[in-house]
Amino acid sequence: MNIQKVFVVGAGQMGSGIAQVAAATGYSVKLNDLHDDLVNKGLKVIEKNLDRNLSKGRISEEEKQKIFSRLQKSTSLKDAHDADIVIEAAVENITIKTGIFKELDHICPTQTILATNTSSLPITEIAAATQRPDKVVGMHFMNPVPVIKLVEIIRGLATSSDTFNIVKEMSEQMGKIPVEVNDAPGFVSNRVLCPMINEAIYTVYEGIATPEAVDQVMKLGMNHPMGPLELADLIGLDTVLYIMEILHQGFGDSKYRPCPLLRKYVAAGWLGRKSGKGFYNYS
């Protein structure tokens, strides 16, 4: 299958990043969200990223214009009627995602691949909402999408080898390094990362060290480019809590129990960078 037309559902941070990289690769891209202002916001983020690349000499003005010419706006899932692949990057909620996939299954041609950028939800369950589970796959990009090379490609129970190979080849064409992962809560990235972040939060909760000290230990001692609590604030504490709850529910193991301090911060609206306050103050 020759991928040419890409439909991205969700124009937020992840969706706009995926759309940017796909358009820069040469694909024709439709960027979809519920309202026009959300799509425009996503396009402004892409323009800002491209302007940064332009100022640093990574692309020319002509290349920037070519990338933008490959991007179209969409506020209806029906616009996916001619897509070769759909990459869904909507809110991390199983009910919403299965609803989107069920609708796309009716709209898209039978050969269209339906991929989800979920960071923790079961691919098999999402695929079961469609009549094409063999063509449903996880395509988990990392944030920020234009920068981070990794893409976890997650096979659901019924994902075919053809689907996997097409998505792997597409990822490589987008300049990414695909890694094959089987369907399990949190996959590899978040199954390893989020418990580490949760444990870092426990050390603050138990009064062992300040957030600054915890982050310094991990950056200076373990050579991490970013401390776990800085990273938690970047990801969003609500997202970290949600993933920990998925892990706890999926494995039934107490080692995945979210730290009470994480729950308290989320309840207070201290979500990290996006709210102006988390383990650090950004206001």
State the residue for tokens 């129970």.
157
Pairwise CA distance, residues 59 & 48, whole Å: 13
Nearest CA among 177, 175, 196 for reference residue 255: 196
Averaged pLDDT, 32-47: 97
Same domain, 152 and 30: yes
At residue 224 the predicted structure's pLDDT band, cuts being 50, 70 and 90, is very high
Same domain, 155 and 199: no
- For the chain, first and last CA: distance in Å? 49
Instruction: Answer whether residue 95 is part of any domain.
Output: yes
Choose the final residue of a domain: 182, 212, 240.
182
Read off the pTM.
0.92
Residue 33 annotated as lining a ligand binding site: yes
pLDDT for the residue 271: 97
Residue 195 in this model has a pLDDT that exceeds 80: yes
Helix-helix angle 237-251:260-267, to 10 degrees: 130
Residue 97 annotated as lining a ligand binding site: yes
Instruction: Answer whether residue 223 is part of any domain.
Output: yes
pLDDT for the residue 52: 95
Residue 15 annotated as lining a ligand binding site: yes
Give me the catalytic one of 171, 190, 198, 275. 190
Mean per-residue pLDDT of the chain: 96
Pairwise CA distance, residues 77 & 80, whole Å: 6
Q: Give per-residue pLDDT as tens, 19-29.
A: 999 999 999 99
In angstroms, the Cα distances linking 115 to 182, 213, 226 are: 14, 40, 29
Say what percent of the chain tops pLDDT 90.
97
Residue 10 annotated as lining a ligand binding site: yes
Residue 196, token pair as written in the block: 């580490």
Averaged pLDDT, 105-129: 97
pLDDT for the residue 254: 96
CATH number for the domain harbouring residue 170: 3.40.50.720
Residue 34 in this model has a pLDDT that exceeds 90: yes
Give me the catalytic one of 119, 120, 171, 275. 119
Give me the catalytic one of 28, 32, 120, 140. 140
Residue 1 in this model has a pLDDT that exceeds 80: no
Give residues with Cβ within 8 angstroms of 122, minimum separation 6: 94, 156, 183, 185, 250
Instruction: Answer whether residue 256 is part of any domain.
Output: yes
**Residue 223 catalytic?**
no
pLDDT for the residue 246: 94
Q: Under a CB-based contact definition with an 8 Å cutoff, are residues 93 and 68 in contact?
A: no
State the residue for tokens 């103050």.
281
At residue 283 the predicted structure's pLDDT band, cuts being 50, 70 and 90, is confident
Q: Give per-residue pLDDT as tens, 66-103.
A: 999 999 999 999 999 999 999 999 999 999 999 999 99
Residue 209, token pair as written in the block: 């060290």
Choose the final residue of a domain: 182, 202, 229.
182
In the chain, what are the helix, strand and coil shares in percent, each to the nearest 5?
50, 15, 35
**Residue 81 catalytic?**
no
Pairwise CA distance, residues 105 & 246, whole Å: 26
**Residue 53 catalytic?**
no
Same domain, 149 and 200: no
**Residue 245 catalytic?**
no
Say what percent of the chain tops pLDDT 70.
100
DSSP string for residues in 201-244: HHHHHTTS--HHHHHHIIIIIS--SS-HHHHHHHH-HHHHHHHH
- Give how far the C-alpha of residue 264 lies from the chain's centroid of Cα atoms, to the nearest Å: 25
Same domain, 23 and 159: yes
Same domain, 146 and 195: no
Instruction: Give me the domain span that covers residue 33.
Output: 5-182
Instruction: Answer whether residue 281 is part of any domain.
Output: no
Residue 119 annotated as lining a ligand binding site: yes
Q: What is the number of structural domains in the chain?
A: 2
In this structure, the strands spanning 5-9 and 85-88 are parallel
Residue 269 annotated as lining a ligand binding site: no
CATH number for the domain harbouring residue 219: 1.10.1040.10
Residue 13 annotated as lining a ligand binding site: yes
Instruction: Answer whether residue 71 is part of any domain.
Output: yes
Residue 213 in this model has a pLDDT that exceeds 90: yes
Averaged pLDDT, 95-113: 98
Give me the catalytic one of 88, 120, 152, 275. 152
Pairwise CA distance, residues 243 & 194, whole Å: 7
Same domain, 61 and 155: yes
Instruction: Answer whether residue 283 is part of any domain.
Output: no
Same domain, 89 and 150: yes
Residue 11 annotated as lining a ligand binding site: yes
